[in-house]
Amino acid sequence: MAEESSASTRRRLTPFNVIAGIIVIIGLYVTVRRFTSGLSSVTHLSNSYPWGLWIAFDLLVGVALAAGGYVTSAAVYIFGMKRYHAAVRPAILTGFLGYALVVLALNYDVGRPWRLPYPFVISRGTTSLLFEVAACVALYLTVLFVEFSPAAMEWLGLKKARNLVVKLTMALTILGVILSTLHQSSLGALFLIAPSKLHPLWYSPYIHVYFFVTSTIAGLSMVIFEGSLSHHYFKDKMDAEHLAAKTDLMLGFGKAAAWVLAGYFVIKVIGIAADNNWHYLATGYGAWYLVELLGFVALPAMTYAIGVREKNTTIIRWSAVWAVLGIVVNRFNVCLVAFNWYLPAEERYFPHWMEVAISVFVVTLGLLAFRFIVTRMPILYAHPDYETH
């Protein structure tokens, strides 16, 4: 008896669990500080930089990287690519957890989080793009929850409810694409109101289109990236369909990502021309802009294409990692680097370690929740008692 329990303790004390445990403890400490001493005790936010890491990473990057849900379900249910069916449930789950964590992180950032429903029930500021974002994120989180629920219901054995929800698949998928189009683009459009604050190379009347297009790149790349991680860590949970579909999925999504990246590259260059911003390219900010455009758009487009042509999943996997990094670079550039670009260095923002700690804490919670769910519910395998939908 005693031996058994010590063995199970040893099994739980894996390096991952130990590190996750430490991160969670630090996160809880910072949480207490945030809600007892205010933002100034845990962040470097200022009157010049009202938005910092929690908006740039947790909101802007978080929402973009959670786009895999709508991209995959649209590909399978609307565009009829049924051969990628095995990827739908993991992508929906990642999307759902992603959005849930975005909302969680927002509770740290806003002054009075319990007022987050106010825009809908107390005072509707419909002229604000943030109203649009808030409405869509709230609705889409609900849609993702419903889309995810069949897996939970199969696990719990709620057969009737599960079959009812499955009937709604098409409607939910279309609603999901509408809501995603709207809020992914509106996150970029948030900055339309501040042309005098954003560096001209990043401020563009097309910025909402850029944000939407990059969200599909992020979605496709995240499905590839997260799929290969799952394949590595949860191989024992995967059924034959998931294992067999892996290469086909990587080739298909890799090809799509390369093609969307190419289109994005074109509209970015046209954006420079539309505002006649060529001369900025010769400045320091211009050099950094070119790093983003060539290094994180053109380069992954090319490497994805090579990976697809060579049918080399290793190249595709690394291209996905690089493209995801490119999304992070882009969102950080818009929200932090290009914002207030004219301020002297000492007035610029750099995150406090506790801001980083909360962001890492939130991602860790996501990983723990993902592991909890895929080890219990039929995500990476089809439940034998139910027909696939």
Binding mask 199-218 for another protein (x = CB under 8 A): ------x--x----------
For residues 70 and 296, which CB has a smaller minimum distance to another protein in the complex? 70
Q: What angle do CA 382, 383, 385 make, to 5 degrees?
A: 135
**Near another protein in 267-296, by CB under 8 A:** none
Q: Which residues of 272-304 are buried (b: 16+ CB within 10 A; e: fewer)?
A: beeeebeebeeeebbebbeebbeebbbbbbebb
For residues 147 and 226, which CB has a smaller minimum distance to another protein in the complex? 147
Q: Which one of 1, 3, 11, 126 is in contact with another protein (CB under 8 A)?
A: 126
Q: Which two tokens stand for residue 261?
A: 């990246």
Q: How far apart are CA 302 and CA 305, in angstroms?
A: 5
Range in contact with another protein (rule: CB under 8 A) among 104-112, 227-235, 245-253, 320-328: 104-112
Q: Which one of 3, 10, 11, 123 is in contact with another protein (CB under 8 A)?
A: 123
Q: Which one of 177, 306, 321, 363 is in contact with another protein (CB under 8 A)?
A: 177
- Least separation in angstroms between residue 58's CB and another protein is 13
Q: Which one of 61, 65, 189, 297 is in contact with another protein (CB under 8 A)?
A: 189
For residues 39 and 66, which CB has a smaller minimum distance to another protein in the complex? 39
Q: How far apart are CA 102 and CA 378, in angstroms?
A: 25
Of the candidates 62, 226, 238, which has an alpha carbon nearest to the alpha carbon of residue 140? Answer: 62
| Residues 215 and 94: beta-carbon distance below 8 Å | no
- Least separation in angstroms between residue 127's CB and another protein is 5
- Least separation in angstroms between residue 121's CB and another protein is 10
Cα Rg of the chain, angstroms: 22
Site size with another protein, rule: CB under 8 A: 64
Range in contact with another protein (rule: CB under 8 A) among 84-92, 120-128, 253-261, 309-317: 120-128
Q: How far apart are CA 288 and CA 177, in angstroms?
A: 33
For residues 115 and 309, which CB has a smaller minimum distance to another protein in the complex? 115
Position 350 contacts another protein (CB under 8 A): no
The amino acid at residue 218 is A
Q: Which one of 6, 8, 14, 48 is in contact with another protein (CB under 8 A)?
A: 48
For residues 42 and 301, which CB has a smaller minimum distance to another protein in the complex? 42
Residue carrying structure tokens 């390219």: 281
- Least separation in angstroms between residue 185's CB and another protein is 7
Position 235 contacts another protein (CB under 8 A): no
Q: Which two tokens stand for residue 212?
A: 């939407």
- Least separation in angstroms between residue 319's CB and another protein is 27
For residues 83 and 231, which CB has a smaller minimum distance to another protein in the complex? 83
Size of the chain in residues: 389
Residue carrying structure tokens 């999943």: 313
Could you tell me the maximum CA-CA distance found in the chain, to the nearest angstrom? 75
- Least separation in angstroms between residue 230's CB and another protein is 28
Binding mask 17-46 for another protein (x = CB under 8 A): -----------------xxxxxxxx-x-xx
Q: How far apart are CA 332 and CA 231, in angstroms?
A: 30
Range in contact with another protein (rule: CB under 8 A) among 175-183, 244-252, 263-271, 326-334: 175-183
Please, where are the H alpha helices in the chain?
2-12, 15-37, 53, 62-65, 68-73, 88-109, 118-121, 129-156, 159-167, 169-189, 207-233, 240-274, 284-290, 299-309, 313-332, 353-374
Of the candidates 155, 145, 144, which has an alpha carbon nearest to the alpha carbon of residue 237? Answer: 155
Position 69 contacts another protein (CB under 8 A): no
Please report, as ranges, the residues that interact with another protein according to CB under 8 A: 34-41, 43, 45-48, 50-51, 74, 77-80, 109-113, 115-116, 118-119, 122-132, 134-135, 170-171, 174-175, 177-178, 181-182, 185-186, 189-197, 205, 208, 339
